[in-house]
Structure 1
Amino acid sequence: MKVKKESSRIVKPTYNGKTHPSNPGFIPLSVFDKVTYNTHIAVIYAYRPPTPPNVTLELGLQKALSVYREWAGRLERDDIGNSIILLNDEGVKFVEASVNGTLDEAVSFKPSASLLALHPCLKGVVELVQVQLTRFTCGSLVVGFTAHHLVADGQSTSNFLVAWGQACRGLDIGPLPTADRAIFPRRDPPCFEFEHRGVEFTSNKLVKKDYPVIVEDVVVHKAHFTLEFLAKLKQKASSENSGPYRKPYSTFESLVAHLWRAITKSRALDNSKTTYVRISVNGRTRLNPRVPKDYFGNLVLWAFPSAKVQELLREPLPYAAKLIHDAVAKVNNNYFKSFIDFANYKVEEEDLVPTAYMDKSSLCPNFEVDSWLRFPFYDLDFGGGCPYVFMPSYFPTEGMMFLLPSFIGDGSIDAFVPVFQDNLATFKQVCYSLD
């Protein structure tokens, strides 16, 4: 696929035809912003014709940026070195591109390096959002979107994308984002109820550079799990969790337990090794009082269920499902508030850095799951209907998995699972088996 870049420019917010406010201001990053991944994340949307013209998407983007000003700003530091988002309305990158061919001829939407041509590069970018509109001769449109994770998590980013679509359709943007990042006060005196060293943070002195793995050795497998398979999997995972006061494990818990075991088996690890799963936990419903769903920023911590390889593979599926359920349940209101205190009082004092970083080529013997199952990514409608394909870009980090609702729309789930080429055959055999 040969993508021709037609133009590239900066798009800035519009305020009812006026220029940006005279006082730029800034927003300090919260402790949840600072602990997440310091990188751009890219996603791909595909739309069948008819699609609105590029100018409609550009004007809608300008309106959406006037509500979500952070995206048009820049990451900076204040006079004492604190990380901030400078609300200077410098704008976002807007690229127009084309392919001399139809969408079906040019793009298979299988996870591969060819997807990287459908969005701007993620490295060395000062803009906090980048957009690429790629047109095809059949009238189809692919929207490549990248956003800096320090500014917002998946919930917030998907809310912004829905707002962009609303603006393109001439609708009022709503609900409006809750933009106050100073709503997480530290306690005085602090209360460190949980250990956060070696969990969200590690010593700066212990950080080691990862030895790169040849990208060709990793293949991203898209596994499709039907609604019927998921129902049977959930039943199997919950088979030992019966009783009047016990609920079955969720589809998410059941599927992650299944994939954890499948990935571990395909890796042929030593039985004595310990393996863990890094699972994102949304704090909006965990904190008390609850944080609005429309809070804009990062509000995610992680659960880390772990097990010895021998036990994980020897015990039946309910064993792994219980480990996941119990670990996620522990990331509750008390845990979040303990983290807030620790991040405010101890991180700078002990020279700690986040454990969330994207420069690894392999997570083995561990793996990470990023669930987009409950985010409204599929609701991005520019005026021609919702996308028929939504997916992450190509992230060939072995063990970093994404879960998405299938574009079929029947409740099935797609898992994008990067594995070593030598382990692929075993993984495919195990991941589609209920035995």
Structure 2
Amino acid sequence: MTPPPPPQSVRFISDCFVKPPQLPPRSNRPLHLPPWDLAMLSVHYIQKGLLFPLPPPCLDPAFDRPAFIRSFLEKLKRSLSSALFHFYPLAGRLATLKGTDPAFYTVFVDCADSPGARFVHAAIDLTVADILSPTYVPEVVQSFFDHDRAINHDGHALSLLSVQVTELADGVFIGLSINHAVGDGASFWLFFNSWSEIFRAQEKGAVDVVQLSRPPVLTRWFPENHPAPLSLPYTDDPSSFLAHYEAPELRERVFHFSAESIAGLKAEANRQCGTTNISSLQSLTALVWRCITRARRFPPSQVTGCRMAANNRARLDPPLPAEYFGNSITPVRTAAMVGELLGGGIGWAARLLHVAVAEHSNAKLREWNEEWIKRPQVYHLDKTFDSYSIMMGSSPRFDKYGNEFGLGKAVALRSGYANKFDGKVSAYPGREGGGSIDLEVCLPPATMAVLEADPEFMAAVTVS
């Protein structure tokens, strides 16, 4: 029997650093980080990217593709430099400030003393279909992102933003790795959207510095009576405070749910509860929580949890602007016994989630910050998120398919190795829009196989 061919690997062609054309005067001051930022120091960078087909002329053997790619990369670098003018912390590095008190140790962003954001050009002998056709996301996609397995504290030495552009035989993948201690998912997509906006403006002849339709708000929010900087509970050796995480063997699959399927789940959840208040995402999350829990085959008495990443910007009083650049998220947890969850129906689970989200108030957010300042701690993927629970991350509300770089609309969104574990689910908008949702589900192989045979779950999945 002929052995299978070896897996394809990425060829790194070049890399450089990109800086903004100029820095504002305030960039000379340390950008101190509040609790929601510092809590992220031991988790991975955010790694998300978009897959674009190349324009048809590029596939003609007579076309000068190398010249097209060179021009494309230069345009990306130019627009990235302009984007960093508005998002200048992403051109910086993390730094440590130590006080005379041995218990005083804080991490901040040094915006001035840095070579800038990293820009990588790579290539691989695969097609767009090779990425999209398999049932499970190919492991090679993880190599489409820089800073593989880095945790945010590594941003002392690594760039806080790295862009990797990977050429495929008939496409391009643009993958971003952004330090999660500097920004959350809303911040990530605000930057991606702004970079795309600048690229399009410069294609039309705009100058290097483009005025954005949604400029970021870079001033960090700190709880009242607790000004910056905030101290962390370690001195010269942070190893006991931080940890690198290695994920178990996981299958990763993207399931598509049409707008009609989502509407049906929402209607059924609200019907079972006799209400109209349960949202589409709460209904879908209830389905996923129930079905993954059933696939894990836990005993009825086992407690299982569901966490949902909640954007806190509008929940604070006074609220933060939607363009607040930083972390303003906390996981909202709901728990139940397996027997109750599986015996109560989708409405029963959705009501639990709805109540938890409704109770996630300004008072709770301020209490969380006060408790953190008294007892600082960071998230650890192997401790914060247990194997009896699921975690719903990202959001279908972010504008992910509105990013175009002269290549038209992306055909798919994919993510890297970062922040994946047994039970991690990420919600993305479906490419066709209209309320459709894609769920990126990470489970061990055996659990994934049971989920794929679950009639309740697969009845809601839309096969394209």
Do these two structures clear the TM 0.5 threshold for a shared fold by scoring above it? yes
What one-letter code is carried by the residue in structure 2 that aligns with 1:173? Answer: L
Q: Is the 8 A contact 2:424 2:442 kept in 1?
A: yes
C-alpha displacement of 1:285: 0.9
Question: Between Structure 1 and Structure 2, how many residues are aligned?
Answer: 403
Distance 1:22 1:230 in 2: 46
257, 263, 270: which one aligns with 2:292: 263
SS of the residue 2:299 aligns to: coil
> Are residues 1:390 and 2:396 paired?
no
SS of the residue 1:304 aligns to: strand
Structure 1 segments, 4+ long, off by >6 Å, are 206-213
Distance 1:134 1:264 in 2: 37
SS of the residue 1:370 aligns to: strand
Distance 1:177 1:145 in 2: 18
C-alpha displacement of 1:92: 1.3
Q: Is the 8 A contact 2:141 2:415 kept in 1?
A: no
Distance 2:338 2:38 in 1: 32
> Are residues 1:294 and 2:323 paired?
yes
Structure 1's 208 and 86: CA in aligned 2 closer, same or farther, altered over 3 A? closer
Q: Which residue of 2 aligns with 1:34?
A: 38
1:317-396 alignment to 2 at 5 Å?
A: 317-344=346-373, 346-347=374-375, 352-354=376-378, 356-359=379-382, 363-394=386-417, 396=420
> Are residues 1:179 and 2:208 paired?
no
SS of the residue 2:273 aligns to: coil
1:247-305 per-position Cα deviation (integer Å, ceiling 9, x unaligned): 23111000000110001000000211111111111111111111100111000112111
Q: Which residue of 2 aligns with 1:198?
A: none
> Are residues 1:114 and 2:140 paired?
yes
Structure 1's 121 and 84: CA in aligned 2 closer, same or farther, altered over 3 A? closer
Structure 1's 176 and 96: CA in aligned 2 closer, same or farther, altered over 3 A? same
Distance 1:166 1:251 in 2: 29
C-alpha displacement of 1:311: 0.7
1:207-356 alignment to 2 at 5 Å?
A: 214-215=248-249, 218-242=250-274, 246-344=275-373, 346-347=374-375, 352-354=376-378, 356=379
Q: Which residue of 2 aligns with 1:146?
A: 177
Q: Which residue of 2 aligns with 1:73?
A: 92
1:16-45 per-position Cα deviation (integer Å, ceiling 9, x unaligned): xxx786963211101111223632121121
Structure 1's 154 and 335: CA in aligned 2 closer, same or farther, altered over 3 A? same
19, 24, 30: which one aligns with 2:28: 24
SS of the residue 1:286 aligns to: coil
Structure 1's 266 and 296: CA in aligned 2 closer, same or farther, altered over 3 A? same
Distance 1:54 1:360 in 2: 41
| Structure 2 residues without counterparts, runs of 5 or longer | 1-7, 56-67, 100-104, 203-209, 228-237
Distance 1:297 1:211 in 2: 23
RMSD value over aligned CA atoms?
A: 2.8
Structure 1's 40 and 359: CA in aligned 2 closer, same or farther, altered over 3 A? farther
1:158-169 alignment to 2 at 5 Å?
A: 158-169=189-200
Structure 1's 20 and 327: CA in aligned 2 closer, same or farther, altered over 3 A? closer
What one-letter code is carried by the residue in structure 2 that aligns with 1:310? Answer: G
Q: Is the 8 A contact 1:361 1:397 kept in 2?
A: no
Q: Which residue of 2 aligns with 1:55?
A: 74
SS of the residue 1:353 aligns to: coil
Distance 1:96 1:407 in 2: 26
SS of the residue 2:77 aligns to: helix
Distance 2:425 2:259 in 1: 20
Q: Is the 8 A contact 1:236 1:318 kept in 2?
A: yes
C-alpha displacement of 1:106: 6.2
1:35-73 per-position Cα deviation (integer Å, ceiling 9, x unaligned): 236321211211223486100000111111111111111
12, 19, 34: which one aligns with 1:12: 19
What one-letter code is carried by the residue in structure 2 that aligns with 1:165? Answer: S
Distance 2:213 2:172 in 1: 25
Structure 1's 393 and 136: CA in aligned 2 closer, same or farther, altered over 3 A? same
Q: Is the 8 A contact 1:405 1:414 kept in 2?
A: yes
> Are residues 1:87 and 2:92 paired?
no
Q: Is the 8 A contact 1:363 1:400 kept in 2?
A: no
| Structure 1 residues without counterparts, runs of 5 or longer | 189-203
Distance 1:210 1:120 in 2: 16
Tell which deviates more after alignment, 262-271 or 361-370. Answer: 361-370
Q: Is the 8 A contact 2:426 2:441 kept in 1?
A: yes
Q: Is the 8 A contact 1:360 1:397 kept in 2?
A: no
Q: Which residue of 2 aligns with 1:191?
A: none
C-alpha displacement of 1:337: 1.6
Q: Which residue of 1 aligns with 2:50?
A: 45
Q: Which residue of 2 aligns with 1:194?
A: none
Q: Is the 8 A contact 1:64 1:173 kept in 2?
A: no
Q: Which residue of 1 aligns with 2:5?
A: none
Q: Is the 8 A contact 2:398 2:429 kept in 1?
A: no
Distance 1:113 1:295 in 2: 34
SS of the residue 2:196 aligns to: helix
Structure 1's 122 and 2: CA in aligned 2 closer, same or farther, altered over 3 A? closer
Q: Which residue of 1 aligns with 2:435?
A: 411
Structure 1's 261 and 152: CA in aligned 2 closer, same or farther, altered over 3 A? same
Q: Which residue of 2 aligns with 1:429?
A: 453
Tell which deviates more after alignment, 361-370 or 301-310. Answer: 361-370
Structure 1's 166 and 136: CA in aligned 2 closer, same or farther, altered over 3 A? same
1:85-127 per-position Cα deviation (integer Å, ceiling 9, x unaligned): 1112431111111234543356647423110121213235511
Structure 1's 210 and 159: CA in aligned 2 closer, same or farther, altered over 3 A? closer
Q: Is the 8 A contact 1:210 1:361 kept in 2?
A: no
Distance 1:164 1:307 in 2: 43
Structure 1's 94 and 27: CA in aligned 2 closer, same or farther, altered over 3 A? same
Distance 1:363 1:65 in 2: 37
SS of the residue 2:54 aligns to: coil
Distance 1:241 1:48 in 2: 45
Q: Is the 8 A contact 2:30 2:110 kept in 1?
A: yes
Q: Which residue of 2 aligns with 1:201?
A: none
Distance 2:88 2:243 in 1: 35
Q: Is the 8 A contact 2:385 2:391 kept in 1?
A: no
Structure 1's 209 and 151: CA in aligned 2 closer, same or farther, altered over 3 A? closer
Q: Percent identity?
A: 25
